Amino acid sequence: MTTPADRLRAVRDRVDAAARAAGRDPASVTLLAVSKTWPAATVRELAALGQADFGENRAQELAGKAAELTDLPLRWHFVGQLQRNKAAAVARLGAVVHSVDRLSLARALGRAGAEAGRPVEVFLQVDLGGPQGEAAARGGADPAEVPALADAVADTEGVSLRGLMAVAPRGAAPGPAFARLAALAERVRADHPGARDLSAGMSADLEDALVAGSTLVRVGTALFGVRPLPCGQDESHQSHGSQQPG
């Protein structure tokens, strides 16, 4: 049985090797440990090994873990679909939000960020579609609408546009989808130079994402293992935005 240290080392080795193979500096890539469904004690264990960035997909779970771990210098990320009525709670925790797919959500986060005196860092989630080009069940804005959404979000007080995020489509090779995402990110970056990050790649496809220029990979299963879920659910079909598994 592998230990948390073994798993963290293995994932970091994968990230470093993939970055170097793509001609990139491994230091340019942030590893985000997707700790959803795992207890605060497990987060603490990885944090003791030097992991600083952790992602959650439910606002209540994020708040609970953050409250238990206030003694640690962690950076929290919200990777699930976020309801507007939970935006303020997530913003107050200083979490980076990876799943902004509509202007109304950005404005809700912006109001909370303005009240807190600290802009909320956000990624725009892009729908990369399914294998036949149909809309994905994983959420996200239509790629054709992303440049205009980026313009509007960049003009929203209380938020800071950090870049784009996406999940590779099921049932298709991730490389071409990530290449499309990278091209869209470059277009957005031309208008908004501060939107320089790209959140893409998970346990199964992080190498493809790093080839495409991802600066942040979201890894859950490879770090934590597979956690049993309620009957009738799998890791990619839980409610409240769990479409961003690791």
- Give, in degrees to the nearest 5, the angle at Cα 42 between 36 and 43: 70
Indicate the number of domains in the chain.
Answer: 1
Residue 215 counted as domain residue:
yes
Domain that includes residue 73, residue range? 4-224
Cα diameter, the chain: 50
Phi then psi dihedrals of residue 229, to 5 deg: -115, 165
CB 35 within 8 A of CB 55: yes
pLDDT in tens, 84-111: 999 999 999 999 999 999 999 999 999 9
pLDDT tens digit string along 168-204?
A: 998 889 999 999 999 999 999 999 999 999 999 999 9
Tokens of 228: 């049993």
Write down the residue that tokens 């605060």 correspond to. Answer: 40
Does residue 207 fall inside a structural domain? Answer: yes
Let me know if residue 241 belongs to a domain: no
Contacts of 107 (CB under 8 A, 6+ apart): 156
- 3-state SS class at 221: helix
CA dihedral angle for residue 32, residue 154, residue 83, residue 89, rounded to 10 degrees: 70
> What is residue 131's predicted lDDT score, i.e. its pLDDT?
53
Question: 3-state DSSP call for residue 126?
Answer: strand
> d(Cα 153, Cα 81) in Å, to the nearest integer?
17
235 in a domain, yes or no?
A: no
User: What integer pLDDT is reported at residue 125 of this predicted model?
Assistant: 97
| Burial classification of residue 153, based on how many CB atoms lie within 10 Å of its CB (0-12 exposed, 13-18 middle, 19 or more buried) | buried
First to last CA, the chain: 20
- The predicted-structure confidence for 216-237, as pLDDT tens digits, reads as follows 999 999 999 886 554 444 333 3
Distances (CA, A) of 14 to 27, 48, 167, 173: 13, 20, 19, 19
Output the pLDDT for position 45.
97
Could you tell me the two tokens for 50?
């030097």
Q: For residue 50, which amino acid is it?
A: G
Residue 243 in domain: no
Q: 136: which 2 tokens?
A: 């994905």
Q: What's the pLDDT at 57?
A: 95
Q: What is the mean pLDDT of residues 48-76?
A: 97
Beta-carbon count within 10 A of 73 CB = 7
pLDDT at 166: 97
246 inside domain: no
Residue 239 domain flag: no
202 is a domain residue: yes
CATH of the domain at 169: 3.20.20.10
CA 157 to chain centre: 22
pTM reported for the whole predicted model:
0.90
Please report the pLDDT score of residue 129 as a whole number.
Answer: 83
